[in-house]
A and B are shown apart, each in its own frame.
Chain A
Amino acid sequence: MSDALFRNEPVSSTPYVADGVSIRLAAPLKRYSLRARTADALETVLNVKVPQKIGATEGGIACLGPDEWLLRTPAEAAMPTGTGLPVAITDISERSICLVLEGPRAAEVLMTGCPLDLDNFAVGRATRTIYETVEIIIIREGEDRFHVEVWRSFAAWLWTAFTTAASH
């Protein structure tokens, strides 16, 4: 990961604070796309527990699809390559950034453009979905706290959309 001095983030590093909700850029994360036919195959390679059910998260790993997981970790991790095994582990750390929405109005702000029923989206769940026309990954970290993963090139637009929604 590049030195923090040289990072050029697409959104403001100053949190946006409105009535009932704040929006801020999360600290840089390492991200890995994990692909395998089964969670068991990945567990063998990674030697950690991997969630089986789509939408479930465990130990920083979110199950996004029947053969796709996303691992997010704050620190540089020594990842096994799984050479010779039917798994694919890809470093996608700089593909996306994470916006953190926090406060009693966090779900309301997300639902201005996301069609999911977030009132019935349990804490600990994660999913890929869409906000207006921008693909995002939502992770409900707490009752009033959501992590929103978005590809870098869409982040500036999403920041504007979120802060505009929060200001109303």
Chain B
Amino acid sequence: MILIHCPYCDEKRPEIEFANAGQAHVARPLDPSSQSDEEWEAYLFIRANPRGRHHERWRHVHGCGRFFNAVRDTVTDKFETTYKAGEPRR
């Protein structure tokens, strides 16, 4: 079982306590009505699908309950780092 470091609990916890919540750092446009259909579609549906280093949101759902961000390698499934929501991209 993979152990994932929760930046809020500040310890490594078993992966089944966590849930993946998709790509990280996708910011909702501040003024949605100013968006073209293409821009809005890109925000809603278009995601990176990298082979390798990927920024993801995870949630310690069966733990402290918090969402945080993680850098995970999609090939090896290794977590490079995790950090609190709101902190700059690593």
Contacts and interface: CB of A to CB of B under 8 A. Distances in A.
Contacts of A54: 8-10, 64
Interface string A34-78: 000000000000000000001100000000111010000000000
11 contacts: A54-B64, A65-B63, A65-B64, A65-B65, A115-B17, A127-B9, A127-B63, A128-B65, A129-B63, A130-B17, A130-B62
Nearest to A114: B14
Q: Dominant SS at the B interface?
A: loop
A64 B66 CA distance: 10
A116 interface: yes
B1 A115 contact: yes
A6 B16 CA distance: 38
A128 B61 CA distance: 9
Contacts of A115: 1, 14, 16-17
B56 to A, nearest CB: 20
B65 A68 contact: yes
A9 interface: no
A64 B65 contact: yes
Contacts of B16: 115, 130
Interface in B1-24: 1, 8-10, 13-14, 16-17
Given A65-B65, A115-B1, A115-B14, 10 more contacts: A55-B9, A65-B64, A66-B64, A68-B64, A115-B16, A116-B13, A116-B14, A127-B63, A128-B64, A130-B62
Contacts of B13: 116
Nearest to A68: B65
Contacts of B10: 54
A58 to B, nearest CB: 17
Contacts of B1: 115
Nearest to B60: A65
Contacts of B62: 128-130, 135
Nearest to B8: A66
